[in-house]
Amino acid sequence: MKLGAKAWINDWLEGLGRISQLLREVLQSAFTHRLDGSYFINQIYFIGVKSQSVVLITGAFTGMVLAAQTYFQFHKVKMDTATLAVVGVSMCSELGPVLTALMVAGRVGAAMAAELGTMRVTEQVDALRTLAAHPVDYLVVPRFLATLVAMPLLTAESIVVGIAAGYAVGVQLLQIDPTYLWHNMLRYTDPNEVVAGLTKATIFGGIIAIIGCYKGMSCGEGAEGVGKATTEAVVYSSISILIVNFFLTLALNRILE
């Protein structure tokens, strides 16, 4: 049991070290090597444009359910018009970035691990190396940068749609006064909440891309290896997002105070 735990900790630390090395290489390459423009645009399209439906549906229904739940509790103490303020603050600083990141991790992180993993097991990554192209420059950097760009935009969309859906539920379904509802939302939702949310989104984007690419580039042989890499990419990036979110909340709260 003790030996098993020790091996698990060793593996975990080794993985963390390798991800850090990959991140260092990606940052070095991003500043020192020319980016393949068309490949980068393709990645932006795949990560950003193609993820919109998932992110919009998630954002809208989160805003709606949050508005309804908040109203049910606030109605008891006659604070109905503060409903959208809760939705606004929650969507901007926590739910918008975290739920968007979890959805993108499921869609994009898995796709990155599966695509790069398949390229690895079919020797396409080796072929790339024989053609004098560095796999980090060609495969990882465009994905990493595209996710960094796409994530804040997707999160902003999710926040806007979440607040709009919460407003619609509050006004149309729950019959809350629209003027006070909107006014209170603007009053209590600080611009710093938006800054914090978009900063988190950018960092989550980096986590999704680096874990997805690392799992793909280091996956085991065959279909089993690709499957395992894909699952691990989603699980590890989701857990990392939730853990990092807690520390980011504390840090950003202090910085933006």
Interaction site with another protein (CB under 8 A): 36, 119, 122-124, 126-134
Least CB distance from residue 151 to another protein, whole Å?
A: 23
Among positive and negative, which fits the CA dihedral 238, 239, 243, 246?
A: positive
- Is residue 209 within 8 A of residue 144, CB to CB? The reply is yes
Q: 143: closest CA among 20, 22, 14?
A: 22
Give the nearer residue to another protein in terms of CB position, either 115 or 232. Answer: 115
Q: Count CB neighbours of 46 within 10 A.
A: 18
Q: In angstroms, what is the minimal distance from the CB of 7 to another protein?
A: 15
Between 119 and 145, CB nearer to another protein: 119
Cβ–Cβ under 8 Å, residues 100 and 109: no
Q: Can you give the length of the chain in residues?
A: 257
CB of 133 to another protein, least distance (A): 6
At closest approach, how far in Å is the CB of 238 from another protein?
27
The token pair that represents 33 in the structure block: 């090597």
Q: Kindly state the smallest distance separating residue 131's Cβ from another protein, in Å.
A: 5
What is the smallest separation between the CB atom of 126 and another protein, expressed in angstroms?
5
User: Residue 129 CB, nearest distance to another protein (Å)?
Assistant: 6
Tokens for 130, please give them.
């024989």
Tell me if 196 sits within 8 A of 256, measured CB to CB: yes
Instruction: Please report which residue ranges of 33-51 form alpha helices under DSSP H.
Output: 37-44
Q: Locate 193 and state its tokens.
A: 């909440």
Given the complex with another protein, which of 69 and 122 has the nearer CB atom?
122
Residue number with CB closer to another protein (134 or 183): 134
**Side-chain-side CA neighbours of residue 142 (13 Å):** 21
Integer CA distances (angstroms), 164 to 85, 155, 193, 211, 232, in order: 12, 14, 17, 33, 35
Which residue, 118 or 245, is less far from another protein as judged by CB?
118
Contacts of 217 (CB under 8 A, 6+ apart): 22, 116, 117, 120, 125, 135, 139, 140
